[in-house]
Amino acid sequence: MPLSIKAVVIDLDGTLLDTAEDLADAAEAMLADLGLPAVPLAEIKTYIGNGVSRLVKRALTRDLSAEPDAELFRRALASFERHYGEHVSRKSRPFPGVVEGLQAFKASGVHLACITNKAARFTHPLLKDTGLFDYFELILSGDSLPEKKPSPLPLLHACRVFGCAPAELLLIGDSLNDTQAARAAGCPVFCVPYGYNRGRPVEELDLDAVVPSLVAALPLIELKAESLADTAEPAVDARPG
């Protein structure tokens, strides 16, 4: 420390935004459609982080890795996506320190991206509705590329877009998915302690630092600003309309 960084990539659910209540509301409505009992919010929080499909499977089975009946899952996923799409940002809000941190990163001129496992049809409205969309040069959703976190592919794509080495790209996240993706890509990774790490403390993860907020990450890095126009590879979902 401090790390020499040209780009900062930030996770969405549990890092930028507290989305648990909107996800829980959609899960509750889905389970009601199927005639199944609701799952408490505290439990839903432990299911977040691997995309909507896995969240739905966990809500159906009350297990992190079990597979539900295929037909039940098909009906449940359609129901969840309908309900969540109707109210993707009704209760979701930035965590404390997020806006201040994004403002500081943006002012520094460092490249800034959001990489999430959430589908683009939910990611873009959610970032726009909460006022965070315009901070990012690049937005990669769970369906932007052939693979998503914990695959290193999204991080390596961001490195190519920003023209930086993996060691110069910092991922800030909240979960095992983030640390696994960062380590596989060769990127440094910080985690916030307030997110959705399956109910486990982030201190147990393989990471470089635990930071209480995005603002708290700034003293631990040296930012190297350069223009996105100087990089060669086109972005995926960069500045989508």
Catalytic residues: 11
Tokens of 67: 């597979």
Return d(Cα 169, Cα 183) in angstroms, integer: 12
Rounded Cα–Cα distance for residues 180 and 149 (Å): 8
Alpha-carbon gap, residue 47 to 96, rounded angstroms: 22
Which residue's structure tokens are 């307030």? 194
The bridge status of strand 17-18 relative to strand 93-94 is: antiparallel
Phi, psi of 81 (to 5 degrees): -65, -35
Q: With both helix axes pointing from N to C terminus, report the angle between 70-86 and 52-61 in degrees, rounded to the nearest 10.
A: 120
Q: What's the CA angle centered on 89, arms 106 and 239, to 5 degrees?
A: 40
8 A C-beta contact, residue 20 and residue 41? yes
Backbone angles phi, psi at 43, to 5 degrees: -75, -40
